[in-house]
Structure 1
Amino acid sequence: MSEPKRDEVEAQLRLILATPAFARSPHLCRFLQFTVERALDGRAEEIKEYLIGSEVLGRGAGFDPRTDTIVRTQAHRLRTLLQAYYADKPDSPVVIGFAKGAYVPIFRRPSVPDAPPAAGRIHTGWLLAAAAAVVVAGIGGWWVGARSAVSGLEPAPARFTVDLSPQGALDVDRGSLVLPPSGRSALFPLIETNGVRRLWIRSLASGVSRPLVGSDGGYLPFWSPDESQIGFFQNGRLKVYRLSDGQMRDLAEAPLGRGGAWSPQGTILYAPRSSGFIYQIPEQGGQPAPATFLAPGTDENDHRWPEFLPDGRRFLYSVRARNKDHNCVRMGSLDSHETTRIFDHNSQTRLAHTRTGDFLVFARDGSAWAQPFDVKAGRVTGQQILLLEGVRYSNVSGATFSIAGEHYLVYHDTEYSRTAVSLLDRTGHVLKELTQPALLMGVSANAAGRMLALEFGGQSREPGDVYVGETANFAPVRLTFGGAGYAAWEADGHALIYLAMRDGLSILARKSTQAGAEETVLWKPAHPIFPTSVSADGRWLAFHEDRPDTLMDLSLLPLDPLTHTVRGEPVSIRKTRFNETHGFLANSGRYLAFVSDESGQSEVYVTELGSDGHPGFTRKVSLDGGVHPRWRQDDGELYYLSPTRKLMAVRIEHLSSGTQFAKPVKLFDTLAFGAGDSKSPYAVSGDGRSFIINTLRVDPQGLTVHAVADWVGLLKTRHLTVN
């Protein structure tokens, strides 16, 4: 085989230097270019450690290789990065390399044809990315464990960390890092430093992360089998995104998506809401159809987290029941209504095909576990084994781990984004920090803005509990116990109405803020509800309801302010095929502001109310989108958050000829957390001069995840016996 010619070597050098891994390391670029050019010019004798250190790496004339190891260190990194480059590009016509301990490059043709990787060998995409990060970061970067080239040796698990992007934090409330089977890329939801939430993708070969244009607000992404497309949830819809050109297709309604999966035959499974069952739809679109059914005669209330088995017909899914002891993971089929119980706890479960056999990997009790699984028979066959600690599971955002076959397991131990509640004036200036960063999920104030209620998050995104205090000197006192949220104040600030979980059931409850007060049950709704506000006279509670037939519907619940009981059936305000949410009652009781997506995006509307609570004339008051409307106490101004989290204000004049709403004006930009969720991200003082905002605190360490290469080796170290 002929030796490479000069022009071939130079062309290969240009290709290598153009890769992102080298582009981020000027020192290594100069090192490689200097040594290659000297060798091509026949001046290999000039390639000495002293010359490289003093001139190429900038140590100057005083460089002493006996005490300064920079040349040897950089040479090691250069060899590592070149090995990773050729592992990812085995068809390169010219190989540029360095023998260990030498600085003169070697040029040769590939000596062997490309062959499939041996079992257990580290995947090239991760190898290149890991090597690149070692080069760039120097220390504290990704680490790649050495692999033996001797056939038959069992590779040991290698642990390293992955820094996904410097431009934000992992949006742990909207999903986790998701690997495809090849392990070549990773999808993840990102909270950018400016507060924008969208999906990003990282090429693990180049180490480059980029946002997916148009995916703002997207969450819970999942891969197509050929890795050319992704599915995800956005603005109450299930969507498909083609990675080659960013083309998106809208497939189906999904107001509160809870996981999706994509079969090789082109069927997509998805859980469209927080209750009910899993649906199926062709990848090109069509009429959705149920893929699972709530078992009759049981207390099952929702199915989520579908995962296809290799045949593309059977699938795993998580079952939640009112009695948590009945939670489980089941196996269903597109060809039958019959299901098989797999094990007795609910979690997002993934199938891993390995050289040791097939395993189900799932999160439980703050750890990742694996259990042998007979795919053909559809049953577990051995004991559960603890793999790793520090892995979480959330009923809202899923498990905080992902796997790529037998090669990689990535995970993080952050279950929530951290926020802090601040008091701001109308210019956005922070007047006072009311809390330290914590797991805060909702904020509400009474009509005067003097009393504040915060929901501190519980485990696995289950309802936390409500704490109350005076806004001026906020010292939170715990009001509820056992799980509660979505708190709405009665106008005088003496009691709250909220959603609670009691004995496995969702109830609407009331409790006074007086010491020793008891909780009373107001209502046991048939469908999931989300209370948002109470009228000033205590006669109405605004809420929206998740119904399987008409999506989110807006209603008023009639209350008796004297007996503190429900005095009748709910009055429907909006019941359409669109989502109507975030109803907030004006202090006068004359108006209800709410959000609807009937225009194609969420907008703020105001409807006039009769004395019987029934709606009258309705008008749109927001421009270019809006959520979470709030009233000033005198009804003279309405506020809302824009899609980019700007706090907007609408002046209102009450004239004899009618009510006039002015054009919305921007007050200031915010980082309000949960602006697109049902839980309240802010509250308003009675005079509209200050705002209490639950503000996202982007953790600079929030985008580091942990990874284990050859994670199957953990099974052996845990002494697992496969039956």
Structure 2
Amino acid sequence: MQGGKLMKIDVAGGPATTLVSGSVGAYGGAWNQEGVILFVKDLHLFRVAAAGGTPSPVTELDKSREEVVHAAPAFLPDGRHFLYVVFNLSDLDYTACVGDLQSKDKKLLVQRLNSHVTYVDPGYLLFARDHVLMAQPFDAGKLQTMGDAVPVVEEVDTAGRSRYYSASPNGTLAYASGGAGTGLQITWYDRSGKVVGTVGKPVEIQTPRLSPNGKIVASDRVDTQTRRRDIWLTDLVRGGEQRLTFAGQNSFPVWSPDSLRVAYFHADQNGEKVLVKSADGTGQPEVLESPIKRPMDWTRDGRYLILATSLATPKTSSDLWALPLSGANPAGKPVPLRETEFAEWHGRVSPDGRWLAYDSDDTKRREVYVVGFSSLNGHWQVSVDGARDPVWSRDGRELYFVGLNGKMMAVEIEPGPQFEASVPKPLFDVRLGAAINFPSYDVSADGRFLIATRVEQTATVPMTVMLNWQAPLKK
């Protein structure tokens, strides 16, 4: 995969041949003995013949389960069934599934993974969980797990769907440790993509959000031991940090326009809700909205909290809503902004309150659109080749988004009552560390980009080769 294209090249050398163009994601692939290639396009799995041809989907995102991406396919020995991982917003983790080339049905196999999943003869699934490589007995004929997963190796590098281990048919296992997969570093980039600073230490987070006054970064951090996610605040002026939440699972932080409060999504055994809490940590969190919605933005005038429904319905999928506020309290019921059969997400209102930017899959791939906010008039597509996650510049004169080809893009916006946008232009290549559907970056008033990026290794990473790794499992 390169530049949004699926390509192949002869191992003996020669020019590369393009098999599929446009919206191909670098989320892994598989090639079976019959010449069928599996790859990720528009965030789910497609197939195409190795000789070329028209690609066709083999999986579909189950929006009722809040699935946002299917990735890392791997064929089972029969060449018909295949393993892959699913990331969903409900669990904030990966689930291993098995699919079928002859139908779009899937079967869930193993939950709470931190890696891809691989089948190894005579019958094991290999995957990582909390940096421990696990072996799960598996019947490839019946497509079902058998018994409990057992640990094989500790301290294995993991980074979501990335591959830091491999097992051969002859019983040899190789894995990396002590290098990659050590978290995400909140990093400052200039407009050319040059690193100009970092914030805090590498941790497992999804969303960095810069306060309107530019002094504090809110992020959702995972405790690698308990797997609980909490909101943390990092002071860019004093350099300290504090934990804001202490119970349940917390994510999607959004700042109030005065930088004094943080709204966020909270889930526990009693259900899901949107809460708001003072940024200084005092007082108890207050409930803003109870149905299944995630906060996306807080308008500059403080009058509306923009929400997205994540539990999609069969008719309208994921939708965008505006919750009227009076101070930090609800002043009415949520009002639908975009309620269609497509999945609208990442709603962000322009600083002047005129426009609502969001991404949607109404062309069968994600693109960025703009509509009038107050009147919901107009409908302009501002991206071209697939994109997600729009963010306005602080002065509203530019709109940024991430292309599905992995480039940070920018369009210039003409001020005034009529919406006018320039042709998108690429700024720099970016590898977002956050999962799909999480707001993954922010932009400061001086035009710097705040992005959570995967930590790169800075030294030689140990690679361990283990012979006959299955022997202890047979005792």
CA distance in 1, matches of 2:13, 2:458: 19
> Which amino acid is 1:257 matched to?
H
Amino acid at match of 2:210: A
2:110 to 270, 293, 318: 318
Q: 1:513: which partner in 2? A: 279
Distance (whole Å) between structure 2 residues aligned to residue 253 and residue 476 of structure 1: 41
Aligned to 1:635: 396
Measure how far apart 1:261 and its partner are: 6.3
- Greater C-alpha radius of gyration: 1
Question: In structure 2, do the counterparts of structure 1 residues 510 and 259 end up closer, same or farther at CA, with 3 Å as the change threshold?
Answer: farther
Q: How many angstroms apart in 2 are the aligned matches of 1:201 and 1:652?
A: 42
The Cα offsets for residues 13-64 of structure 1, whole Å up to 9 and x where unpaired, read as xxxxxxxxxxxxxxxxxxxxxxxxxxxxxxxxxxxxxxxxxxxxxxxxxxxx
Is the contact between residue 29 and residue 74 of structure 2 (CA under 8 Å) also seen in structure 1? Answer: no
Give the drift of 1:583: 1.0
Q: Deviations over 1:284-314 (max 9, x none)?
A: 6x6x3x455xxxxxxxxxxx4xxxxxxxxxx
User: What is the deviation of 1:573?
Assistant: 0.9
**TM-superposition CA deviations, 1:440-480 (whole Å, max 9, x none):** 43211234434322333443995633222444554332222
SS of 2:413's partner is strand
Q: Does 1:662 align with 2:421?
A: yes
The match for 2:88 is 274
Deviation digits for residues 323-363 of structure 1, max 9, x if unmatched?
Answer: xxxxxxxxxxxxxxxxxxxxxx9998766444xxx556555
> Does the 8 Å contact 2:19/2:52 carry over to 1?
no
Normalised TM-score (structure 2) = 0.76
Cα offset, 1:245, TM superposition? 5.3
Q: For 1:106-185, what aligned pairs fall within 5 Å after superposition?
A: none
- State the Cα distance separating 1:697 from its structure 2 match: 4.6
Matches within 5 A, 1:595-634: 595-610=359-374, 615-634=376-395
Structure 1 position 249 matched with structure 2 position 56: yes
Matches of residues 187-336 of structure 1 in structure 2 within 5 Å? 214=20, 216-222=24-30, 224=32, 226=33, 228-243=35-50, 248-254=55-61, 255-257=68-70, 264=78, 266=80, 274=88, 283=101, 288=104, 290-291=105-106, 304=108, 317-318=109-110
**Count of residues in correspondence between the two structures:** 456
- CA deviations 1:667-687 (Å, max 9, x no partner) are 73253524882223322234x
Is this contact kept in 1: 2:8–2:17, CA < 8 A?
yes
Please point out which of 711, 714, 722 is paired with 2:469.
711
Per the alignment, residue 534 of structure 1 pairs with: 298
Q: Which amino acid aligns with 2:402?
A: L
Shift of 1:663: 1.0
Tell whether the 8 Å contact from 1:542 to 1:584 is kept in structure 2 after alignment.
no
Q: Distance in 2 between matches of 1:222 and 1:703?
A: 26
Tell me the equivalent position of 2:65: none
Q: Per-residue deviation at 1:493?
A: 0.8
1:683 is paired with a residue whose SS is strand
Aligned counterpart for 1:650 among listed residues 405, 412, 429:
412
1:535 deviates by 1.6
Q: Which residue of 2 aligns with 1:588?
A: 352
The match for 1:497 is 263
Structure 1 residue 606: Cα displacement? 0.9
State whether residues 407 and 430 of structure 2, in contact with CA within 8 Å, keep that contact through their aligned partners in structure 1: yes
Deviations 1:194-236 (A, max 9, x none): xx79989999x9999x999758423254554x37434233323
Aligned partners of 2:195, 2:189: CA distance in 1, in Å? 4
Of stretches 480-489 and 561-570 in structure 1, the one that deviates more from structure 2 is 561-570
Structure 1 position 683 matched with structure 2 position 442? yes
Structure 2 Cα separation of the partners of residues 647 and 510 of structure 1: 32
Cα gap change, 1:591 to 1:695, in 2 (>3 Å): same
Give the Å deviation of 1:239.
0.9
Q: Which one-letter code corresponds to 2:69 in the other structure?
A: L
Larger % of strand: which? Answer: 2
Which whole-Å deviations, capped at 9, do the CAs of 1:573-629 have from their partners, x for residues lacking one?
14224x32211012333321011233354322111123xxx6222112234443322
Tell me which amino acid in the other structure corresponds to 2:323: P
Q: 1:525 aligns with which of 291, 299, 311?
A: 291
Q: Distance in 1 between matches of 2:186 and 2:139?
A: 50
CA distance in structure 2 between the aligned counterparts of 1:411 and 1:627, rounded to whole angstroms: 33
Q: Which amino acid in 2 is paired with 1:609?
A: F
Counterparts in 2 of 1:405 and 1:509: CA distance versus 1, 3 Å: farther
Q: Hey, what's the Cα distance between the residues in 1 that align with 2:242 and 2:89?
A: 32
8 Å Cα contact 2:115/2:161 also seen in 1: no
Contact 1:415 1:460 in 2 (8 A): no
- 1:673 is aligned to 432
Letter aligned with residue 283 of structure 1: L
The 1:411/1:518 distance shift into structure 2, 3 A limit, reads: farther
Q: Identify which of structures 1 and 2 has the higher relative contact order when contacts are C-alpha pairs closer than 8 Å and 6+ apart.
A: 2
Cα pair distance change 1:470/1:392, threshold 3 Å: closer
Deviation at 1:489, TM superposition (A): 0.9
Question: In the alignment, which of 222, 230, 245 is matched to residue 465 of structure 1?
Answer: 230
Preserved contact between residue 490 and residue 538 of structure 1 (Cα < 8 Å):
no
Q: Secondary structure at the match of 2:70?
A: coil
Q: 1:644 to 1:391 in 2, by over 3 A?
A: closer
C-alpha distance in 2 between matches for 1:502 and 1:368: 28
Residues 408-437 of structure 1: per-residue CA shift (max 9 Å, x gap):
334344673654334455555655443444
- Report the CA distance shift for 1:420/1:393 in structure 2 as closer, same or farther (over 3 A): closer
For residues 261 and 672 of structure 1, the distance between their equivalents in structure 2, rounded to whole angstroms, comes to 23
**Whole-angstrom CA distance in 2 between matches of 1:710 and 1:202:** 33
| SS state at 1:652 partner | coil
Instruction: Tell me which amino acid in the other structure corresponds to 1:635.
Output: G
Provide TM-score, normalisation by structure 1. 0.53
User: Hey, what's the Cα distance between the residues in 2 that align with 1:379 and 1:269?
Assistant: 13
| d(CA) in 2 for partners of 1:374, 1:595 | 41
Q: Return closer, same or farther for 1:660/1:362 CA change in 2, 3 Å cut-off.
A: closer
**Contact 1:270 1:280 (8 Å CA) reproduced:** yes
Structure 1's unaligned 5+ residue stretches are 1-188, 293-303, 305-316, 321-344
In the TM superposition, residue 266 of structure 1 has moved relative to its aligned partner by 3.4
CA distance in 2 between counterparts of 1:672 and 1:398 reads 13
Alpha carbons of 1:279 and 1:426: their partners in 2 closer, same or farther (altered >3 Å)?
Answer: closer
1:411 alignment partner, one of 172, 175, 181: 175
CA contact (8 A) 1:268 1:280 kept: yes
Q: Distance in 2 between matches of 1:540 and 1:675?
A: 23
Matched residue, 2:152: 387
Hey, what does 2:321 align to over in structure 1?
A: 556
Unaligned runs of 5+ in 2: 62-67
Give 2:208's aligned residue: 443
Shift of 1:250: 3.3
Partner Cα separation in structure 2 for residue 250 and residue 441 of structure 1: 28
Instruction: Determine if contact 2:182/2:202 at 8 Å carries over to the other structure.
Output: no
The 8 Å contact of residues 370 and 384 in structure 1, kept in 2 or not, is answered as yes
What SS is found at the alignment partner of 2:295?
Answer: strand
